[in-house]
Chain A
Amino acid sequence: MTGPAAPAAPLLTVDDLHVSFTKGHATVQAVAGVSFTLSEGETLGLVGESGCGKSTTGRAIICVDKPTSGKILFGDTELTTLNRSELRTLRTQVQMIFQDPVSSLNPRRRVSDIVAEPLNIWKIGTKSERRDTANAMLDSVGIDPLVSGSRRPQEFSGGQCQRISIARALVLHPRLLVCDEIVSALDVSVQAQILNLLEDLKAAHNLTLLFIAHDLAVVKNVSDRVAVMYLGRLCEIAPSDILYSAPAHHYTEALLSSAVEPDPEATRTPVILGGEPPSPINPPSGCRFRTRCPRAEPRCAEEVPELRTIAPDHQVACHFPIGSS
Chain B
Amino acid sequence: MTPLLEVDDLHVSFATPRGAVRAVQGVSLSLEQGTTLGIVGESGSGKTVLSRAIMGLLPRHSATQTGSVRYQGNEILNAPNDELRQLWGTHIAMVFQDPMTSLNPVLRIGRQITETLRIHLDLTKSEAKETALSLLMQVGIPSPVERFNAYPGQLSGGMRQRVMIAIALACAPNLLMADEPTTGLDVTVQAQILDLLSTLQHERQMAMILVTHDLGVVATRADEIIVMYAGNVVERAPTNVLFTQMSMPYTEALLGSMPRISYPSHTRLLSIDGRPPDLLSPPAGCPFAPRCPYAQGKCHREKPTLVEGAVPGHSYACWFPLPIREKAATS
Contact = CB atoms under 8 A, between A and B. Distances in A.
Interface string B235-269: 00001100100000000011111111111111111
B102 interface: no
A155 interface: no
Given A189-B271, A193-B271, A220 B216 contact: no
B281 interface: no
A260 B157 CA distance: 19
Contacts of B214: 188, 260, 262
Contacts of A196: 268-269, 271
Interface residues of A, number: 47
Contacts, number: 138
Interface stretch (A70-78, A268-276, A296-304): A268-276
Interface string B34-51: 000000001100000000
Given A188-B254, A263-B262, A276-B158, A258 B269 contact: no
A199 to B, nearest CB: 7
A322 interface: no
Contact of B187 (A187, A188, A221, A255): A255
A217 B258 contact: yes
Contacts of B17: none
A187 B188 contact: no
Interface in A254-290: 254-266, 268, 271, 273-276
B284 interface: no
Interface in B265-279: 265-273, 275
- Assign chain B's interface to a size class: 35 or more
A217 B191 contact: no
Interface in B45-80: none
Interface string A141-177: 0000000000000000101000000000000000000
Interface string B210-226: 00011111011000000
A192 interface: yes
Contact of B220 (A190, A192, A258, A268): A268
A214 interface: yes
A218 B215 CA distance: 14
* Majority-rule SS of B interface residues: loop
B261 A264 contact: no
A259 B220 contact: no
Nearest to A267: B220
B190 A260 contact: yes
Contacts of A216: 187, 261
Contact of B259 (A221, A241, A266, A268): A221
A49 interface: yes
Nearest to B45: A187
B257 A188 contact: yes
A240 B265 contact: yes
A199 B267 CA distance: 10
Most chain A CB inside 10 Å of its own CB: which residue of B158, B215, B258, B263: B258
Contacts of B331: 263, 265
Contacts of B258: 188, 192, 217, 262
Interface string B167-201: 00000000000000000001111111011000000
Contacts of B262: 261, 263, 266
Nearest to B275: A157
A262 B273 contact: no
A213 to B, nearest CB: 11
A189 B254 contact: yes
B156 interface: yes
Given A187-B213, A263-B243, A276-B156, A1 B264 contact: yes
A220 B273 contact: no
A50 B259 CA distance: 21
B269 A221 contact: yes
A275 B262 CA distance: 27
B323 interface: no
Most chain A CB inside 10 Å of its own CB: which residue of B142, B192, B261: B261
Contacts of B240: 264
Interface of A: 1, 49-50, 157, 159, 187-193, 195-196, 199, 214-218, 220-224, 240-241, 244, 254-266, 268, 271, 273-276
Going nearest first, the 9 A-B pairs with the smallest beta carbon separation are A260-B216, A192-B257, A221-B259, A240-B265, A258-B191, A192-B269, A262-B215, A187-B42, A49-B186
28 contacts: A1-B264, A49-B187, A188-B42, A188-B213, A188-B214, A188-B257, A189-B257, A189-B271, A192-B257, A192-B272, A196-B271, A214-B186, A256-B261, A257-B191, A258-B188, A258-B191, A259-B187, A260-B216, A260-B220, A261-B261, A262-B219, A263-B216, A263-B219, A263-B260, A263-B330, A264-B219, A271-B191, A276-B158
Given A260-B214, A263-B219, 18 more contacts: A1-B264, A157-B275, A159-B275, A191-B257, A192-B270, A199-B266, A217-B258, A220-B259, A240-B265, A255-B187, A255-B188, A261-B219, A261-B260, A263-B243, A264-B220, A264-B243, A265-B331, A274-B192
